[in-house]
Structure 1
Amino acid sequence: MCTSRPVWAAGWPPSPSTSSSTRAGPRPSTRSASTCRTSSRPSVSRCCQERLGHTVTPVPSLHPSPGCPQWGLALTRSSCFVPWHWGGSVGCPNTRGWMRGPRVSTPQCSARSVALLPTVLPASPSGSAPSQPPTGAPLLPAGLKQRREVPGKSAIFSGEHFVLEETDWYLLNLFRLWWHYGISFLRLQMWVEEVMEKFMRIYKYQAHGYAFSSLEELLRSLGGDAFINMTQRSVAESLLEVGVTQRFVDDVIAAVLRSSYGQSVLVPAFAGAMSLAGAQGSMWAVEGGNKLVCSGLLKLTKANVIPARVTGISLHSSEGRALYQVHYEGSKGQGSSFYDMVVVTTPLHTSRSNFTFENFEPPIANFPRAFQPSVTSVVHGYLNSSYFGFPDPKLFPFASILTTDTPDLFFNAMDNICPVNISVAFRRKQPQEAAVWRVLSQQPLDKQQLKTLFRSYYSVQVTEWQSYPRYDSTKSLPPIVLHDNLFYLSGVEWVASSMEMIAVAAKNVALLAYNRWYQDLEKIDQKDLMHKVKTEL
C-alpha cells in the first residue's frame, strides 16, 4: 500500500505542528492512495562491485512505485562514487558533512531510475500541515564504523624526479615545504579556510529552512559576488593574487587537481578550493565499503525502489496546475505516470542524457557542455621502482604518487590501494612484493606504458568513464528550476563536482520545492541571511 510518509530525505517527516492552522498554498491532491499498491521493501541498485580495495558507492534512488499520482517524482542516475584525496585514502563523510573532492561515476552505472517525492505532506492528528521543512539526513546510519587507517607516504613526481616527498616526521615535512616554497603553503591554507568558512554558512541557512532558486543566488548568499567570480576565474589566478608562488602552483596545486579532477590549474577557483579542501587528509573510509552509507540511508528512509529507465517527460495541466507525465521502460515493459513534482538529477548534456522533454514552452534543451573522460586501471603487479629513481625496490617508500603537469607524463596519479575490510593483522605490501595499484590517466594505458610502471603484473582491470565536468570559461551556470515544479539537481556540478556539493544541492531542492508548494516565499532567495538567522529565535 502507498503510505503517506514523505520521502524527501532521510530524517523526514518533520515533527507535525500542534497548531490547527495550515499554510496558504495550492490545494493538495485528494486522490485516494488506497488503489496504489507498492512494495514496502526497500532495495538498492547494486550496479557496482567492490574488488581489490577499489571502493565504490552506488547512489541510492528513493523510489515508491508508479501508479500513485499523489506522489511527486525524481529522476536519478544510479552512479558509483570513488571519493579519494591526494594522499591516496578513500574518502568518506566526515564530521562536518560529505567529503569534499571529485565525484567519479562509472559507465556501467548509467541506468536511470524512477524516484518519487511526495506532493501531499501528511497532516498531523490535528489536521495541520508540518510546521518545519526537512532537516536532512544523519551523516552515518547506525552500525557503521570507521575503517582502520593504513599509513602510507605520498610524493609528487615530475617525470624525471620527485619534486616533493613526504616523510614520517611532521616538522621535517613543514621544513621542506618552507624550504622549497616559502610561506605559500600557509597562504594556501588561509585561502582555503576562508572559502570553506563562508561555504559552511549553507548548513545554517538550510537548518532555518531557506532555499535558493538559482545557483547564482545560492553562491551570492554565501560569499557575495566574490563567490560568483570564483566560478569564472581560474584557481591559479586566484592563488597568485593572494601571494602563492608560481612554483607552488605548478608543483603542488597542479598535482592535486590532476589527481582529483584530471584537469589543470585552469579549473575555476571555487571547484579548485573544494578539491584542495579535500586534499588536506581529514577524510576517512567506512569499514566494509563506503557504499554502506548509501544503502544504510536508503534503508533508514523506508523508501520503495523501482528500477526503470526514464525515456521522456511531457507537460500537461490539470485545474490550472502543471502536471508531468513521466514515460519509462522497466522489466515489465513501457509505462507512464502523472506527477506534480519532478526532480531531474542526471546531467542534461548531449553526451549524458538520452530522454526528451515534450510540450514545454520554451523548449527544454540539453546544455552544451562536455564531461572530462577518465580512465582507472587497477593493476596487480610489481612496481618498477627504477622508473621513479629507486633501483632497489626495497627502498621505495611511497604508497601514493601524484604528478605535475608535464607533457611527457602519461598518467595523473597512482596509489597502492587496500581492501575495504582491514583486519588487525593487515599490513601494506612491501615495495618488492606484488601489490594492487590504481593508476589514473586520461587515456587507456598501452602495454609499453604498463611495462614502464610495472616490472611485471598478473592482471589489469580498466574502466573508462566521463567522470566530472570539463571546466572552461563559460560564464553562465545551469538553472535549478526548469519549469514550475520541475527541478534540476546536477547543475551544481558546474560550480564544483563533489559529494558534499551534491548533498547540499539535494537539500536545497527539497527545501525549494517545499517552500514553493506552501507559498512560503519569505524562505526563498532572501538577502542578508546571516543577519536574519542571527536574529531568529
Structure 2
Amino acid sequence: MLPITLITLTLITLTIPSSSSQSTADVCIIGSGISGSSVAHFLRQYSPTPISQIRIFERHTVVGGRMATVTIAGETFEAGGTILHPKNYHALNFTHMLGLKVNGPSASESSMSLGIWDGDKFLFKTIDFDSKNQIVQYFVSLANSIRMLFRYGVSLLKMNNFVEVTVDNFLKYYESKESRPVFSNVEDMLKWADLYNLTTQTLEEELVGLKFSPLLIEELITVITRINYGQSVKISGLAGAVSLAGSGGDLWSVEGGNWQMAAGLINRSDVTLHLQEEISSVTNAGGFYELNSTNGNSYTCQITVVATPLDELDIQFTPEIYIPERKLQHTYTTFVRGLLNPAYFGLNAVSDLPELVGTIESSELPFTCVSVLKEHAANDFTYKLFSRQSLTDALLDQIFSIRNETIRINWGAYPHYHAPEEFAPFILDDKHLYYVNAFENAASTIETGAVAAENIARLILSRLSGQQPSRSYGLKSSTSDSNLQHPEL
C-alpha cells in the first residue's frame, strides 16, 4: 500500500421530516473533501434551527478528496491540493478555527531557482546562489527580477496587475451575508463578481488583448499554467488568472497536510462518518431521495447535494440528470527519492540544474515540471514531477542517475478547461438535488471549493425557508475591508 493519505470530495444529503422551515434536518454527505466538509460546516453555522444529524459517506478509507500527503524518508509532502493564497480567507479561517499551523515558504523555497526547458536546452534560468545571508538572498532575488524584466519587459508588470484585479474581484465572495446574494447558478455568481467574462475566452486571447509580449505568454505563463493546471494557455481566462495567482509569493499550506482542514471541519460539525461506503444510486422517490450504497445499504434524504466531480463516477440518477459533458485533466504526480541526471538536461553537474524545471508547451516533452522538495544529503534528494501521462521506469532511469524510491499517483485533478466555458447547474432538478462542483469549471482550487460550498449551504437554507435566490448578475458591491469576513492571522 502506498504511504498516501487520500481524501475525496463530497456528495451531501439533507433529510427533512416536513416542509416547515422550523423543522430539524438530517444531513447525509457522500465523500469527505473540502467541498463536502465545508457544506457540513456552513450548514451547522448558518442554520437557524438545529440539524439533528449529519452523515458523511466516504468511498475511501480516509478523508480528504484531492488533498493528500505522501511520506518519504520520514518527511511529509503534499501530493494533491498543495498551495494556498494569502487571500484564501475561508482556508485561513478554517486553519485558525481548527488550531492548525500555517506552513509558509522557507527562505530557500522563496528563492527557488527556475529554469524553462524546451526539451533540448534551457531557454531561461534564474541565478542560483546558495546562501543563508538575507542580504545576499535579497540581492540575488533582485538580480533575478531584473533579468526577468529584461527578458519579458513591461508585460511582467502587466501580469501582476491582471492577477491583482482578478483577486480583488474574487474578494467579493467574502462580503457579509447581508450584502451578498445567494446564487442559484454559476453564471450569476461569476457575473456578480465581474469574473464571468474571463470564462468566455482563453487565457491566451485575454493576454493578447492586453498586449502581453508573445515571449512572456509562450514561456513563463505557459510554464505556470502547465505546473498548476497541467494545461496550456488555451485554458479559460479565469482559470488562467487563478493559476497565475498561485505562482506568487507568500503562498502557504497547513503544516502536516492540507487534508486536516477537511478532517477538522468534519469533526467540528458533529458528523457521523461512514468510511469505505460509496453511493451507487440516487433516486427521487417523491418527497425524498433514496441513496443506495455499494455496501448494500439504503438511506433516505429529502435534500441531496453532490460535491464531487461526477465526470468519472458511476452514480445512477433516477430520473436522469443533465450536466454538460466535461473531461477531467489527469495529472500524474511522481515522487522520486534519488538524484537527477544532469546529462539528460544537457548539463555537466547536478549543481547546474535549477530547483524547479518548468517546460514550454510541446507534445515531445514527457513531463510538465520537476522540482526539488527536499535535500536529504549530497546525493539524496526528494523530487516531484507532474506529467500528462504516467512516466515509465525506463524514462525515469534516463531522467535520474539514482532512483531509490518512486511513488506514482494518478489524479483526476481538475476540469480540462476551454473557452467559452459551459457550466452545470447548481440545482440538478426542480427539487432539492444540488451540485457544488459545477463551480469547478470556473476554477478548481481548495478555496474555490469552499466558496462554492458556502453558497450551496446558503442556497439550501434559503430554499427551505421559502426564499428565492437573487438573480444578481447586474449588482455591484463594495469590497471594503470592513465588509470582508476573515481574521487577520
TM normalised by structure 1 equals 0.71
Instruction: Give the alignment partner of residue 340 of structure 1, picking from 297, 302, 314.
Output: 302
Match of 1:293 in 2: 261
CA distance in 2 between counterparts of 1:97 and 1:496 reads: 16
| Cα distance, 1:429–1:156 mapped onto 2, change above 3 Å | farther
Aligned to 2:77: none
1:461 aligns with 2:429: no
Question: Which of residues 394, 397, 408 in structure 1 aligns to 2:364?
Answer: 408
Q: Which of 253, 267, 279 is the aligned partner of 1:310?
A: 279
Measure how far apart 1:186 and its partner are.
0.5
Cα distance in 2 for partners of 1:82, 1:257 equals 21
Which residue is 1:242 aligned to?
A: 210
Asked if 1:492 is matched to 2:439, the reply is yes
What CA RMSD, in Å, does the superposition of the two structures yield over aligned residues? 3.7
For the pair 1:81 / 2:52, whether they are aligned, the reply is no
Matches within 5 A, 1:288-437: 288-307=256-275, 308-317=277-286, 322-330=287-295, 334-349=296-311, 352-358=312-318, 360=319, 363-365=320-322, 367-393=324-350, 395-396=351-352, 398-418=354-374, 428-429=375-376, 432-437=378-383
Residue 249 of structure 2 corresponds to 281
Q: Structure 1: which amino acid aligns with 2:355?
A: A
CA distance in structure 1 between the aligned counterparts of 2:22 and 2:165, rounded to whole angstroms? 46
1:222 to 193, 197, 201: 193
Secondary structure of 2:385's aligned partner: strand
Matched, 1:450 2:396: yes
Cα distance in 1 for residues equivalent to 2:256 and 2:370: 23
Distance 2:142 2:382 in 1: 31
Superposed, which structure 2 residues align to 1:160-175 within 5 Å?
A: 160-167=120-127, 168=137, 169-175=140-146
Amino acid corresponding to residue 398 of structure 1 in structure 2: P
Q: CA deviation at 1:89?
A: 11
Partner SS for 1:516: helix
Distance 1:69 1:328, change over 3 A: farther
2:329, 2:412 within 8 Å by CA — same for their partners in 1?
yes
Distance 1:342 1:90, change over 3 A: closer
Secondary structure of 2:103's counterpart equals coil
Displacement of 1:179: 1.0
Q: Which runs of 5+ in 2 are unaligned?
A: 1-10, 13-17, 44-49, 70-79, 128-136, 484-489
State the Cα deviation string for residues 416-437 of structure 1 (Å, max 9, x = none).
Answer: 124xxxxxxxxx346x512111
**When you count helix as a share of all residues, which structure comes out higher?**
2
In the TM superposition, what are the counterparts of 1:115-130 in structure 2 within 5 Å? none
2:4 corresponding residue in structure 1:
none
For 1:519, the equivalent position in structure 2 comes to 466
Question: 1:97 maps to which residue?
Answer: 89
Whole-Å separation in 2 of the counterparts to 1:241 and 1:282: 29
Identical pairs, percent:
24
Residue 166 of structure 1, CA deviation: 2.9
Structure 1 residues 138 and 58: alpha-carbon distance in aligned structure 2, compared to 1, 3 A threshold: closer
In structure 1, distance between residues paired with 2:25 and 2:441: 41
The one of 154, 162, 166 equivalent to 1:195 is 166
Secondary structure at 1:191 match in 2: helix
1:508 matched to 2:470: no
Distance 2:93 2:19 in 1: 27
C-alpha spacing 1:200/1:451, structure 2 compared with 1 (3 Å):
same
Cα pair 1:327 1:336 within 8 Å, conserved = yes
What residue identity is the alignment partner of 1:450? L
Displacement of 1:472 in angstroms is 2.8
Relative to structure 1, the CA distance from residue 72 to residue 144 in structure 2 (aligned partners, 3 Å threshold; closer, same or farther) is: closer
Deviations 1:374-414 (A, max 9, x none): 21111111111233343122x33632211111332111011
**Larger displacement relative to structure 2 (407-416 or 263-272):** 407-416
Contact 2:85 2:245 in 1 (8 A): no
Q: Which has the larger radius of gyration?
A: 1
Unpaired runs of 5+ residues, structure 1, are 1-7, 10-24, 47-56, 100-135, 419-427
Aligned-pair distance for 1:286?
2.3
Report the Cα distance in structure 1 between the residues aligned to 2:475 and 2:258, rounded to whole angstroms: 34
Deviation of 1:528 (Å): 4.8
Residues 32 and 406 (structure 1), Cα distance of their counterparts in 2 relative to 1, 3 Å cut: closer
Whether the 8 Å CA contact 1:74–1:345 is kept in 2: the answer is: no
- Residue pair 2:21, 2:464 contacting (<8 A) in 1 also: no
Counterpart CA distance in 1 for 2:427 and 2:348 is: 58
Instruction: Provide closer, same or farther for how the CA distance between residues 256 and 495 of structure 1 changes in structure 2, counting only shifts above 3 A.
Output: same
1: CA distance between counterparts of 2:143 and 2:333? Answer: 33
Cα drift, residue 509 of structure 1? 0.4
Q: Name which of structure 1's ranges 229-238 and 90-99 shifts more when overlaid on structure 2.
A: 90-99
2:371 and 2:25 map into 1 onto residues whose CA distance is 56
Task: Render the CA deviation track for 1:104-148: whole Å, top value 9, x for unaligned.
Answer: xxxxxxxxxxxxxxxxxxxxxxxxxxxxxxxx9634344322336
